[in-house]
Structure 1
Amino acid sequence: MVVAVSRTLPWGVVGAAGAAGLLIAAMSRTAGEAGEWLALPLLRAAILAFAMGLVFLLDDPARHTTSTVPTPRPVRTVLRVALVVPAVAAWWTVALLLVPPGIRPPAADLTLEAGAAFVLAVAGAVAAVRFSEEPRPGPRVAAGLLTASLLALLFWPGKWALFVPVEDERWAAAHDRWAVVLVAGVVVGVLGAVEPVRRRVWGRVWGRA
């Protein structure tokens, strides 16, 4: 089961997004004196780039075929996510190390931001699979994630700010909000991974017929 699922994962898309993200993070090493204030925006851009790849995690051209296998969809979804978690952790470690220590933003807080972004990306993919029959919802989810990120940067209320500089007095409060975003993403992902009751009922009826 693990081998079969691993072969269906979109490693190419995830790898390309990860490579793009690392290139963005590495730009902090070549920015000279500007690197100090560019490090945080570059890391956030790298996080978004990698998250854009993770939205393709549940794309499965054979979705309508695998829906008839005895293994429940939640199990297949959890397995896909579990297989990619080590790669995500390794990618984030490298991304942080690419930023020189002297200008690196607080790692723990940025890790919270990255975790929230990655969870939201996967949750979006889970929701797309849950509420549509599209075998490859990744492109639409990616477009939605990018649009939502741009709108958040431009129009998010200042009193609920998420994207703030390190020296901003709202930094700690912003990361309390990031924790809420992370939890909300987990909840959406868990609820979205549950097999629809109606689909299960119809599957049983069809099987008896």
Structure 2
Amino acid sequence: MVREVAAMARALLRPVARTLPWRALAAGAGTGLLAAWSTRMASGGQDPRLNLNLLRAAALAFALGLAFLLDDPARHTTEAVPARRPLRAGLRLALVLPLAALWWTAALLLVPEGARPPVGGATLEAAAVAALVLAGAAAAVRLSGGAEPGTVVAAGFLAFVVAVPLLLPDRWPLLVQVGSAHWDAAHARWAGALAAAVPAWAYLVMEPVRGRVPARVGGWVRRVSPAGR
């Protein structure tokens, strides 16, 4: 079974790479790098607090590009292929994750070293934001069945980013500044968001049970999807 999945993954690698939304990903990455680079141009570029906010803007820009990761104009035709949706979605993520790591490293290096905010905390925030938007994209595909939900997901996530700080109680801040007494508590919440988003994404990329039809195999009846799974 493992060998079959590995062989299928190798066979799908190039086709999946060709269908990735490279333009949206490049736009998000480019905008993010521009925000990180602006730390060297801003008059307060030696202020870690300003640079943290610019890194947050960079992470958000990249995350909005990730909102399009699961966009696939041919989704309704590829549903009938033997490869299940988790494998196809996992391949998309596996192709993008190394590039995302390189991108974030470049964004951090663009910030002046002497005024760079805590790398661990900034990285945790960026990872949580990316995981949340990916979970949102997976939810949109699962619940709507749409082929290209990226635009709606990106808009919804922007609204979410604006609303959450306003709705959270003052004692539960998320976007705290360097040196704040709430820094550790806020990043514990970021860690919780990341820990919740990762398994949520893993669950949401699976094919929904509804819509499956019964198929008789020998004397037994089992339920399979239209793709035969």
TM-score of Structure 1 vs Structure 2, range by shorter chain = over 0.9
Alpha-carbon offset, residue 128 of structure 1: 0.6
Q: Tell me, which stretches of 5 or more residues in structure 2 are unaligned?
A: 1-11, 215-222
Check whether the contact 2:44–2:50 (CA below 8 A) recurs between aligned residues: no
- Cα deviation, 1:112-156, whole Å, max 9, x if unaligned, reads 111101111111111111111211000010011100101123332
Residue 224 of structure 2 is aligned to residue 204 of structure 1: yes
Residue 25 of structure 2 is aligned to residue 14 of structure 1: yes
Structure with greater proportional helix content: 1
- Cα deviation, 1:17-37, whole Å, max 9, x if unaligned, reads 100000011111011335403
Change (3 A) 1:71 1:158: same
Q: Which has the higher Rg, Structure 1 or Structure 2?
A: 2
The one-letter amino acid of 2:177's match is P
Residue 75 of structure 2 is aligned to residue 55 of structure 1: no
Corresponding pairs, count: 208
Aligned match of 1:142: 154
Q: Name whichever of 35-44 and 197-206 sits farther off.
A: 197-206
The one-letter amino acid of 2:107's match is A
Q: Secondary structure at the match of 2:81?
A: coil
The one-letter amino acid of 1:27's match is S
List aligned pairs for 1:69-84, cutoff 5 A: 69-84=81-96
- Cα deviation, 1:147-178, whole Å, max 9, x if unaligned, reads 01011233322211110001110001111110
- Paired with 2:59 and 2:173, the residues of 1 have a C-alpha distance of 18
Structure with greater proportional strand content: 2
Q: CA RMSD in A?
A: 1.7
TM-score by length of 1: 0.94
- Paired with 1:16 and 1:41, the residues of 2 have a C-alpha distance of 20
Change (3 A) 1:20 1:201: same
Q: Tell me, which stretches of 5 or more residues in structure 1 are unaligned?
A: none
The one-letter amino acid of 1:23's match is L
The one-letter amino acid of 1:50's match is F
